[in-house]
């Protein structure tokens, strides 16, 4: 079964936009392996929009742009597979893709077979230029069934940006993940706003179909297709921690051929990935706060994560977590003890309150266990 844990990989859009070609994709696949990203769990290499010609061929099939992909998609997918990775592509439920290439509307079964023939393992399916008389659920179900009809196991990644209360029906279509927000930009306000918009929708994300809060911007540094100022390393750290806490699919958006060591270590952080992939897959719960925000997430093995974020540029000011609110009131005879996962710093036994000073834009994540007082 696909998507038992949040899907992980790399997607071309954030950095490259329409400037994609087979050489870039091959080099990205090489880098995924050489940098240990594949072994950390990032398995899909996904080509986003702008891979095709503007017209279908005489048999109505989609045609890869021969200038960008002279060897064809099957050869590229063979290459990606030879690296122990999986190959992803992009289409759209409407008549055109968002960048105005041919969409799959009324061509779903033909296009799904084309993707299967090319060895595609993952399809991102956008929602631009959808005719007025059809509804989203039926179109996502149509492509989901078309993919199943090929007999090939293909992860289906829906992308309607949260329209029509997508979280309420998307699982029923057969999709394995679903974009719930508009496009991310490479600046702190963008990831903060995206995370805020999904606070009351976390419970819809679960094994088999995960809430995708968009591709990662970690390490982009303002360069690329969604560049808008960039973020500091601390902001990228908080962005990544939020995505793991929310169990979002993790699709790297940076040009990993030129990635810095700090970003690479962040993307491979074992503690964070173990939270993302926790076997019980329980959604995080928002505790309280505005710009200084706290969450709790029940983990397997009787562990508990307490996550604190400071979305302001002010370092001073304590964040308090009342242990009664996380389920461990003082009359219980229990407190919590554990450590902060980035620093390894031990908390000692905490009773009543966890009081933490979170620096500007930073976060602190505590992995805790019950302890008798
Ligand atoms: C939409 C999607 C993006 C990207 C572009 C491609 O905006 O939300 O993630 O796929 O289309 O045109």
CATH code, 323: 2.60.40.1180
The mean-pLDDT minimum among 109-118, 151-160, 173-182, 225-234 falls in 225-234
Asked whether residue 3 is domain-assigned, the answer is: no
Which residue's alpha carbon is at the smallest distance from atom 9 of ligand 1? Answer: 183
Asked whether residue 170 is domain-assigned, the answer is: yes
- Indicate whether 227 and 289 sit together in one domain: no
Asked whether residue 2 is domain-assigned, the answer is: no
pLDDT at residue number 318 = 77
Q: 243-246: long-range contacts at Cβ-Cβ below 8 A with a sequence spacing of 24 or more? A: 243/213, 243/216, 243/276, 244/272, 244/273, 244/275, 244/276, 245/275, 245/284, 245/295, 245/297, 245/305, 245/307, 245/365, 246/195, 246/198, 246/202, 246/205, 246/211, 246/213, 246/283, 246/284
| CATH number, domain with residue 138 | 3.20.20.70
Which residue's alpha carbon is at the smallest distance from atom 3 of ligand 1? Answer: 183
Ligand 1 atom nearest to 99, measured from its CA: 12
Domain boundary among 276, 305, 323: 276
Asked whether residue 306 is domain-assigned, the answer is: yes
Is residue 306 pLDDT above 80, yes or no?
yes
> Tokens 């540094």 appear where?
221
Residues 60-77 as b or e (16 or more Cβ within 10 Å = b): eebbbbeebbeeebeebb
Asked whether residue 46 is domain-assigned, the answer is: yes
Cα–Cα distances in Å, from 321 out to 47, 120, 276, 306, 351? 43, 46, 22, 8, 11
Question: 332 with 323: CB under 8 angstroms?
Answer: no
Q: How far away, in angstroms, is 66 Cα from ligand 1 center?
A: 22
How much is the average pLDDT of 181-201? Answer: 97
Q: How far away, in angstroms, is 91 Cα from ligand 1 center?
A: 10
- Indicate whether 125 and 193 sit together in one domain: yes
Q: Report the distance separating Cα 44 and Cα 38, nearest Å.
A: 9
What is the band of 236 on the pLDDT scale with cuts at 50, 70, 90? Answer: very high
Share of the chain above pLDDT 90, in %: 97
Which of 98, 122, 127, 252 has most ligand 1 atoms within 8 Å of its beta carbon, as the pocket-test mutant? 98
> Residue 244 corresponds to which tokens in the numbers above?
């793991």
Domain boundary among 276, 298, 330: 276
Q: What is the pLDDT of residues 196-224, one digit of tens each?
A: 999 999 999 999 999 999 999 999 999 99
Question: Number of C-alpha atoms within 13 angstroms, CB side, residue 143?
Answer: 35
Q: How far away, in angstroms, is 126 Cα from ligand 1 center?
A: 7
pLDDT at residue number 199 = 96
Which of 159, 163, 194 has most ligand 1 atoms within 8 Å of its beta carbon, as the pocket-test mutant? 159
Ligand 1 atom nearest to 98, measured from its CA: 12
Question: 224 with 255: CB under 8 angstroms?
Answer: yes
Ligand 1 atom nearest to 90, measured from its CA: 10
- Structural domain including 184 reads 8-276
Share of the chain above pLDDT 70, in %: 100
Residues with CB under 6 A from ligand 1: 13, 48-49, 97-99, 126, 159, 161, 183
Domain boundary among 217, 248, 276: 276
Question: 322 with 353: CB under 8 angstroms?
Answer: yes
What is the band of 227 on the pLDDT scale with cuts at 50, 70, 90? Answer: confident
- Indicate whether 307 and 256 sit together in one domain: no
Q: What is the pLDDT of residues 339-372, one digit of tens each?
A: 999 999 999 999 999 999 999 999 999 999 999 9
- Indicate whether 117 and 263 sit together in one domain: yes
Which residue's alpha carbon is at the smallest distance from atom 8 of ligand 1? Answer: 183
- Furthest CA-CA distance within the chain: 75
What is the band of 16 on the pLDDT scale with cuts at 50, 70, 90? Answer: very high
Q: How many C-beta neighbours within 10 Å does residue 360 have?
A: 15
What is the band of 316 on the pLDDT scale with cuts at 50, 70, 90? Answer: confident
> Residue 121 corresponds to which tokens in the numbers above?
């393992």
Which residue's alpha carbon is at the smallest distance from atom 6 of ligand 1? Answer: 49
pLDDT at residue number 320 = 87
Q: Report the distance separating Cα 233 and Cα 223, nearest Å.
A: 14
What's the structural domain count of the chain? 2
Asked whether residue 1 is domain-assigned, the answer is: no
- Indicate whether 29 and 128 sit together in one domain: yes
Q: What is the pLDDT of residues 56-113, one digit of tens each?
A: 999 999 999 999 999 999 999 999 999 999 999 999 999 999 999 999 999 999 999 9
Which residues are designated catalytic? 126, 183
> Residue 90 corresponds to which tokens in the numbers above?
């992009």
Q: How far away, in angstroms, is 311 Cα from ligand 1 center?
A: 27
- Indicate whether 221 and 289 sit together in one domain: no
- Indicate whether 117 and 220 sit together in one domain: yes
Ligand 1 atom nearest to 159, measured from its CA: 8
- Indicate whether 292 and 317 sit together in one domain: yes
Asked whether residue 62 is domain-assigned, the answer is: yes
What is the band of 23 on the pLDDT scale with cuts at 50, 70, 90? Answer: very high
Ligand 1 atom nearest to 179, measured from its CA: 8
How much is the average pLDDT of 252-275? Answer: 98
What is the band of 232 on the pLDDT scale with cuts at 50, 70, 90? Answer: very high
What are the phi and psi torsion angles at 200 (to 5°)?
Answer: -95, 10
| DSSP conformation class of 283 | P
Read off the pTM: 0.97
- Indicate whether 233 and 367 sit together in one domain: no
How much is the average pLDDT of 4-20? Answer: 98
- Indicate whether 26 and 151 sit together in one domain: yes
What's the chain's length in residues?
A: 373
Helix (H) or strand (E) holding 366: strand 363-372
> Tokens 């974009």 appear where?
179
What is the band of 301 on the pLDDT scale with cuts at 50, 70, 90? Answer: very high
pLDDT at residue number 315 = 86
Is residue 317 pLDDT above 80, yes or no?
no
Asked whether residue 256 is domain-assigned, the answer is: yes
- Signed CA dihedral, 211, 213, 219, 223: sign only: positive
Which of 91, 92, 99, 126 has most ligand 1 atoms within 8 Å of its beta carbon, as the pocket-test mutant? 126
- Indicate whether 290 and 263 sit together in one domain: no
Q: How far away, in angstroms, is 54 Cα from ligand 1 center?
A: 17
Q: How far away, in angstroms, is 31 Cα from ligand 1 center?
A: 24
pLDDT at residue number 80 = 98
- Indicate whether 252 and 181 sit together in one domain: yes
């Amino acid at each position: 079964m696909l998507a038992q844990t949040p899907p992980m990989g790399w997607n071309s859009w954030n950095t490259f936009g329409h400037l994609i070609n087979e050489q870039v994709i091959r080099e990205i696949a090489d880098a995924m392996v050489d940098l240990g990203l594949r072994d950390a769990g990032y398995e899909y290499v996904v080509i986003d929009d702008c891979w095709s010609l503007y017209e279908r061929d005489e048999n109505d099939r989609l045609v890869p742009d021969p200038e960008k992909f002279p060897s064809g998609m099957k050869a590229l997918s063979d290459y990606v597979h030879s690296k122990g990775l999986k190959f992803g592509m992009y289409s759209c439920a409407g008549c055109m893709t968002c960048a105005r290439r041919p969409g799959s509307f009324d061509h779903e079964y033909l296009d799904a077979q084309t993707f299967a023939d090319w060895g595609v393992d993952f399809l991102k399916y956008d929602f631009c230029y959808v005719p007025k008389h059809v509804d989203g659920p039926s179109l996502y179900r149509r492509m989901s069934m078309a993919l199943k009809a090929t007999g090939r196991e293909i992860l289906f990644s829906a992308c309607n940006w949260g329209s029509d209360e997508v979280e309420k029906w998307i699982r029923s279509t057969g999709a394995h993940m679903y974009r719930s927000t508009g496009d991310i930009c490479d600046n702190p306000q963008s990831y903060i706003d995206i995370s805020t918009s999904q606070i009351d929708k976390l419970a819809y994300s679960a094994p088999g179909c995960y809430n995708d809060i968009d591709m990662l911007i970690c390490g982009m540094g303002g360069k690329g297709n969604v560049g808008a100022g960039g973020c500091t390393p601390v902001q990228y750290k908080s962005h990544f921690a939020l995505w793991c806490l929310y169990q979002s699919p993790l699709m790297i958006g940076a040009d990993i051929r030129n990635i810095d060591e700090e970003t690479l270590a962040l993307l491979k952080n074992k503690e964070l990935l173990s939270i993302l992939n926790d076997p019980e897959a329980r959604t995080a719960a928002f505790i309280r706060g505005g710009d200084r925000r706290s969450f709790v997430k029940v983990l397997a093995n009787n562990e508990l994560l307490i996550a604190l974020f400071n979305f302001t540029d002010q370092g001073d000011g304590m964040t308090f977590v009342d242990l009664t609110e996380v389920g461990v009131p003082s009359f219980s005879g229990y407190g919590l003890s554990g450590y902060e996962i980035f620093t390894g710093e031990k908390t000692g036994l905490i009773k009543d309150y966890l009081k933490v000073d979170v620096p500007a834009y930073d976060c602190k994540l505590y992995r805790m266990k019950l302890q008798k007082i």
